[in-house]
Amino acid sequence: MSAYNFAFLDEQTKRMIRRALLKAVAIPGHQVPFGSREMPLSYGWGTGGVQVTASVIGPDDVFKVIDQGADDTTNAVSIRQFFERTTRVRTTTRTDTATLIQTRHRIPETPLREGQILVLQVPIPEPLRWLEPREIETRKMHALEEYGVMHVRLYEDITRHGHVETAYDYPVLVNGRYLMRPSPIPKFDNPKLDRNPALLLFGAGREKRIYAVPPYTPVRSLDFEDHPFTVERWDRMCALCGAADAFMDEIVVDDKGGRMFVCSDTDYCEDRRGR
């Protein structure tokens, strides 16, 4: 890989992406189009996150990658190896010592600090996509704050089921202005978005959009006053570390339907067990 530039992308491309990131940070929650490049990883497998990481990573960074909350799932391993080869940057599994964390589908349980950057992988950036397939129209809706149709959808869910039907990638309002999809994190993780001290960056490679939530920005999950937003709960603790306040993975242990629950965030679980 020595024939490739630091972090694979050429400097022009990184500059282009950083300009998009700056725009995104200046308008929290607003989707900024960018000239996404084909990467050695498939579209849909984190190319947006990889391009954002490649544009902000520096030789002094300490880099962590997780997928489903774990460092050792295959795609997280693959992405970590990619950056190890193209940057030789130090990597870690520890949330508390990482400076830059790329993640798919979870926000770490360990609270993030000021100065840390979290890069989230986004498959579908547009929160109105299922209600309005045309991009030309959804652009206008964002520009004019025409979000009534999203609340209609929530109203319908409550009418039909008594609950909002969305369990992950739950829509939020950022800084009181832009409707945003937080990526397919479980709604359990939504509260972590609100006024987080870290910088949250979102990359959608295939759809070619970047957005951001700067530190300490208010982020509110959509709901009704009389049907407030709630998160998932389990009636079990983690079988390994005893945590009762973390997101659980359900493991089927035998063919009689036996199950056990363990923390999805492997670093958090190990930390609680004293490593």
Partner 1 sequence: MYVAVKGGEKAIANAHRLLAEERRGDPSVPELTLDQIDQQLGLAVDRVMTEGSLYDRELAALAIKQARGDLIEAIFLARAYRTTLPRFGATRPIDTSSMVVRRRVSATFKDVPGGQILGATFDYTHRLLDWSLAVPGERNGHGAASGPASQPAVNGRDHAQPGSDLAPLGGRLPRAIDALDRDGLIEPEEADPDDRPVADLTRDGLGLPAGRDARLQNLARADEGFVLALGYATQRGYGRNHPFAGEIRVGEVEIELVPEELGFPITIGEITLTECQMVNQFKGTATAPPQFTRGYGLTFGHTERKAMTMALVDRALRCHELGETPTSPPQDEEFVLSHSDNVEASGFVQHLKLPHHVDFQSELVLIRTLRSEAEARAR
Partner 2 sequence: MAADVPLLRARGVSKLYGTRVACRDVGLDLWPGEVLGIVGESGSGKTTLLGCLSGRLVPTSGRVEFMLRDGTVVDVLQLPEPALRKLARADWGVVHQNPRDGLRAGVTAGANVGERLMALGARHYGRIRAEALDWLDRVEIDRERIDDWPETFSSGMQQRLQIARTLVTRPRLVFMDEPTGGLDVSVQARLLDLVRGLTSDLGLSAIIVTHDLAVTRLLAHRLLVMRGGEVVESGLTDQVLDDPQHPYTQLLVSSVLQP
Catalytic machinery residues: 29, 238, 241, 263, 269
Residues 105-124 binding partner 1 (CB under 8 A) are 105-106, 123
Closest distance to partner 1 from the beta carbon of 91 (Å)? 12
| Residue of 151, 195, 236, 273 interacting with partner 2 (CB under 8 A) | 151
Q: How many positions of this chain bind partner 2 (CB under 8 A)?
A: 18
Q: Which residue, 163 or 273, has its beta carbon nearer to partner 2? A: 163
- Phi and psi at 211, nearest 5°, equal -145, 170
Interaction of residue 143 with partner 2, rule CB under 8 A: yes
DSSP state of 258: -
274 binds, among partner 2, partner 1, none (CB under 5 to 8 A by kind): none
**Nearest Cα residue to 34 out of 208, 206, 202, 180:** 208
**Rounded to an integer, what distance in angstroms lies between the CA atom of residue 155 and that of residue 167?**
15
Site string for partner 2, 156-175 (x = CB under 8 A): x-xx----------------
Alpha helices of the chain — where are they, by DSSP H? 11-26, 47-56, 74-87, 135-143, 148-161, 266-272
Name the residue type at position 189: D
Task: Report the chain's terminal Cα–Cα distance, integer Å.
Answer: 34
Interaction of residue 124 with partner 2, rule CB under 8 A: no
**211 near 17, Cβ under 8 Å?**
no
Interaction of residue 67 with partner 1, rule CB under 8 A: yes
DSSP annotation string for 41-105: SPTTSSHHHHHHHHHH--TT-EEEEEETTBSSSHHHHHHHHHHHHHH--EE-S-TTT-SEEEEES
Name the residue type at position 269: C
Interaction of residue 149 with partner 2, rule CB under 8 A: yes
Interaction of residue 227 with partner 2, rule CB under 8 A: yes
Enumerate binding residues for partner 2 (CB under 8 A): 140, 143-144, 146-149, 151-152, 155-156, 158-159, 223-227
Q: Residues in the site for partner 1, rule: CB under 8 A? A: 4-5, 8-10, 13, 33-40, 42-45, 47, 67-70, 72-78, 81, 104-106, 123, 133-136, 161-163, 165, 167-169, 184-188, 206, 208, 232-234, 239-240, 247-251, 253, 260, 262, 264, 266, 269
